[in-house]
């Protein structure tokens, strides 16, 4: 009987060792696969971030803040302050009862005036702006000058009103 007991204990210990070995081997494989998946995800995320940085650099290429050649025109002046003055000068004209005169289009659609919604200062001379009256929209190209006294002179170069398509 003792002989059979030791045989059963030996077989049981052997089975426990085999199952333990298999468990830890599979656990290590699972952890390695998980780490590889995470590393692939991190690599993909880094590539996506790099691609977005390239897109951002391309989209901000035409801006006064990133154009060193245009900034040299304003040597010794704060470019950000100039951009803020330009924005204020344009947005102040939105309060006119007939709409912003820089747009170049009269009030339409039940006398809703056009107002400028977005502004982008391209360089030391040009601005592009988006305008709307709530139903129609368009874009206007402006030329600006910073006078010696710091005032801003604005002049419409061209504008486009997109075709109205009711829903």
DSSP class of 151: -
Given a contact cutoff of 8 angstroms between Cβ atoms, the answer to whether 102 and 118 are in contact is no
pLDDT, tens digit, for every residue of 76-99? 788 888 999 999 999 999 988 888
Statement to judge: residues 150 and 92 lie in one domain: yes
Instruction: Please state the domain count of the chain.
Output: 2
Statement to judge: residues 52 and 74 lie in one domain: no
pLDDT, tens digit, for every residue of 111-157? 788 999 999 999 989 999 999 988 888 999 999 998 888 889 999 99
Q: Is residue 7 part of a domain?
A: yes
Statement to judge: residues 70 and 115 lie in one domain: yes
Q: What is the model's pLDDT at position 166?
A: 66
Domain assignment of residue 84, given as a range:
64-161
Is this structure's pTM higher than 0.75?
no
Statement to judge: residues 73 and 7 lie in one domain: no
3-state secondary structure of 92: helix
Q: Is residue 166 part of a domain?
A: no
Statement to judge: residues 156 and 116 lie in one domain: yes
């Amino acid at each position: 009987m003792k002989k059979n007991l030791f045989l059963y204990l030996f077989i049981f210990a052997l089975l426990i060792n085999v199952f333990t070995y298999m468990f830890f081997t599979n656990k290590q494989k699972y952890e390695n696969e998980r780490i590889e998946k995470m590393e692939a995800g991190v690599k993909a995320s880094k590539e996506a971030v790099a691609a977005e940085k390239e897109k951002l650099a391309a989209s901000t290429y035409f801006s006064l803040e990133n154009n060193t050649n245009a900034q040299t025109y304003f040597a010794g002046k704060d470019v950000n302050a100039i951009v803020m003055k330009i924005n204020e000068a344009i947005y102040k004209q939105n309060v006119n009862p007939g709409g912003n005169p820089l747009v170049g289009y009269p009030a339409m659609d039940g006398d809703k005036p056009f107002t400028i919604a977005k502004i982008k200062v391209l360089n030391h001379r040009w601005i592009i702006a988006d305008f709307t009256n709530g139903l129609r929209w368009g874009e206007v190209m402006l030329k600006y000058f910073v006078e010696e006294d710091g005032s801003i002179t604005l002049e419409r170069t061209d504008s486009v009103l997109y075709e109205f398509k009711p829903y």
